[in-house]
Amino acid sequence: MITEATKARFAREVAKYPPEQKQSAVMACLSIVQQELGYVSEASEAAIAEYLGMPQIAVHEVTTFYNMYNQQPVGKYKLNVCTNLPCLLRDGGKALEHLEQKLGISMGETTPDGLFTLQQCECLGACADAPVMLVNDRNMCSFMGNDKLDQLVDSLRAAEAKQ
């Protein structure tokens, strides 16, 4: 499962830490696996644990603590809607419901075409811009009312149709 090329990438990350602290590279190794596979499987966690010399449960704890690590395959576009209290008070829950209706899936599911996975997440640190969401763990979207949500989904679908 973990190729020699992947282990070489791990080694570059581990080299950034003193030898007795190589476990500090766990997040970087998880990110590498996710970049290559699209998600972090239990087998990947075991391989990382073995490589870093740490218990597998310790790797799993990191995987499950951070929302950025996918524990199962996700769509091409992962939509994380903030549902923390400030966003809920400013229609974050309604934004999530609107996306569920528009995409025809429930929170935590992926559309049948594999394009979209819809998730809720904790605070994104942009409460004044609520409701907010994060696309593919990288792009923050603010003031996501129904019209903006529709525009986002429609533009991503249109971009896929052109490819």
Predicted structure pTM score: 0.80
**Angstrom distance (rounded) from CA 63 to CA 65:** 6
141 is in an annotated binding site: no
AA identity, residue 43: A
Please report the sign of the dihedral spanned by the C-alpha atoms of residue 100, residue 123, residue 78, residue 67: negative
Confidence of residue 130 (pLDDT cuts 50, 70, 90): very high
Is the pLDDT at 50 greater than 80? The verdict is yes
**Angstrom distance (rounded) from CA 145 to CA 99:** 10
87 is in an annotated binding site: yes
29 is in an annotated binding site: no
82 is in an annotated binding site: yes
Q: What is the pLDDT of residue 138?
A: 87
Task: Tell me the domains of the chain and their CATH numbers.
Answer: 4-65 (1.10.10), 77-161 (3.40.30.10)
Q: What is the pLDDT of residue 106?
A: 97
Is the pLDDT at 1 greater than 80? The verdict is no
**Angstrom distance (rounded) from CA 121 to CA 66:** 10
AA identity, residue 23: Q
